[in-house]
Amino acid sequence: MKRFLFVAFVAILFFVVFTSSHNFNRTNYFEDLGYSSEVSEKITHLSPLAQKKIPKIAHSGKNFLFTCILEDNRITDQEFKLLHLCQRNWPNYFYSKSEAEQLYKFSFLENFEIVFKFPFSVSEISKFPFDQKMFEEVNVSISEKPRNNDFIPILMYHMVDEPKNWISIDEFKQQLSILYDQGFSTLSFPDFLNMNFSSIPVNRKPVVLTFDDGWSSQFDILEDGSLNPNSAVGALESFCKDHQNFGHNAIFFINFYPPPFSAKKNGNYTWQEKLKILASNGYEVGNHTYSHVILYNKPYSVVKEELDQWYNSLENVISLKTPGIGILNYPGGAIPSDMEYITEYSYDDITIEAACIAWGGPSYLPSSTYFNKYRISRIDATTENVQYISSLNSYKKPFVLKTNIPNFIASNSELFNSWLRRIYGINPNNFVIQIY
C-alpha cells in the first residue's frame, strides 16, 4: 500500500511540474515568435487546437491585431479567417494600432473577405467606409476620353429636290449610303453638345445632320398620312429600317415666315400639324429666327424681336421643351456684331445654349479647347464634300469597358483611381468614367 501511495505521489508531482513547465515553455515559444508577453500569455489560454494554428500565421507585426482579437481571451472562426487573410496578403507587415482596429472591425461584417480580393495596402483598406453597404456593387463604365483635336462632321442641308443649287433626293439617299458604309451613325445635336455618345455603336463615327429653312422637300406627308418617300425624312426613315445602327437623328432649323414645310399643299395637313408630327417622331427643332433675318449689324431690338417671335410662334404649336430649341442657326451664317445679344438672351427660362454657322469644315468636340459653342462650324452637304469628310479620321466612339465593383472602392476617389491603375493600367485623367 505504501508503495502504491509513493508511486501516485511521484506521478502527481511529475504532472504538476510538467504542466507548469509546459505552460511556461509555450509562453516563451510565442514570445520567441515575436509576440509580446501579453499576447503570448493570452495565446496559451486558447485551446490546444487554436494554439496549434497560431504558428502558421505568426509574425511579430501582428501584435496589435492579436491584442484586438484576444481581448475576450478567445478566437472565433471568423477571426481566424481574418488572420489568415492578413497573412496571405501582407505576410511581413507591421500593423499600427489604428490599422489593426479597423481590420478587426471588418471581421464583424458579413462577407468581409471581399475586401481582401483587391490589391490594396493595409493603409488604403483603413480608409474604407465601415458599413454593410460597402459591399454592395455599383456599375462602372470606362472609355477613353476624346483628344483635344478630335472632330466630327456636322452636315448642312437645304433643299433635297433642287439639284441645280442644292441636291436631289437621289443624291441624298446616296449620301446616306456613303456615310453608313464609312462607319458613321447619326447623333442628335443636344447629345453632341453634351458629349453623350451612348446612342452611337462602339467603333462607329458620329455625324450630325442639320436641315435649314424648313423646306417641304425635307419633310412632307402624303394625303394618305404616310411620309413622302421623296422627302429627306422619308428617305432617312426608310434607310434606317435596313440600317438600324445608323439612327434617324436630325435637327430642323426652321423659320415661321414663311411657315415651315408649307411649300407643297395638300388638303389634309397644315404646317402646324406637320411640325407636331415631326417633333413627335423624335426629331429636333432648332431656331433659325422668325423671318430669316441676317443678324449681322442689326441692333439688339431687331435680334431680340426675331428670337422672341420665333419662340412665341413655336409655343403655340409644340412644347418649348422640344429638344433643340435652345440651339440657334444664324441665317446666312452671319453672326451678330455684338455676341452679347446672343449670350445674354433669354425667353422665359430658355437661353441660347449654342449656335452654328454655315461654313468652317468639321467641328471640334465640345471638350476641345478649340471649340466655340457660339460658332459651331458645319459643312455644306454636297456629295463631293460628304465623300471627302468620310475619308477623314474623325472621332470614333471607343470601346466601353463595363464592370461591377464594390461600393467601398467606388465611394473613395483616391482608392478608385488606385484600383484603375493597378487592375487596368490606365491613367484615370485620360478616361471617361461613369459610376451608376
Residue 378 lies in a domain: yes
Residue 38 lies in a domain: yes
Residue 343 cell numbers, joined: 449670350
Residue 113 lies in a domain: no
The CATH code of the domain that includes 344 is: 3.20.20.370
Residues 6+ apart with CB under 8 A from 116: 85, 86, 88, 89
Q: Model pTM? A: 0.74
Nearest CA to 128 out of 414, 341, 392, 412 is that of 412
Q: What is the pLDDT of residue 21?
A: 42
Q: What is the pLDDT of residue 66?
A: 83
Q: What is the pLDDT of residue 364?
A: 97
- Which portions of the chain are predicted below pLDDT 70? 1-27, 33-34, 55-60, 263-267
Nearest CA to 44 out of 22, 27, 19 is that of 27
Q: Do residue 53 and residue 180 come from a single domain? A: no
pLDDT digits (tens, 9 = 90+) for 343-379: 999 999 999 999 999 999 999 999 999 999 999 999 9
Burial of 285 per CB tally in 10 Å (0-12, 13-18, 19+)? buried
Q: Do residue 161 and residue 62 come from a single domain? A: no
Q: Do residue 238 and residue 337 come from a single domain? A: yes
Nearest CA to 207 out of 184, 181, 180 is that of 184
Q: Do residue 71 and residue 215 come from a single domain? A: no
Question: What 3 state SS string does 158-179 have?
Answer: CCCCCCCCCCCHHHHHHHHHHH
Structural domain of 273: 147-390
Q: Do residue 103 and residue 175 come from a single domain? A: no
Q: Do residue 242 and residue 326 come from a single domain? A: yes
Q: Do residue 269 and residue 350 come from a single domain? A: yes
Q: Do residue 164 and residue 267 come from a single domain? A: yes
Give me the number of domains the chain comprises: 2
Residue 137 lies in a domain: no
Indicate the pairing of strand 137-144 with strand 431-435. Answer: antiparallel
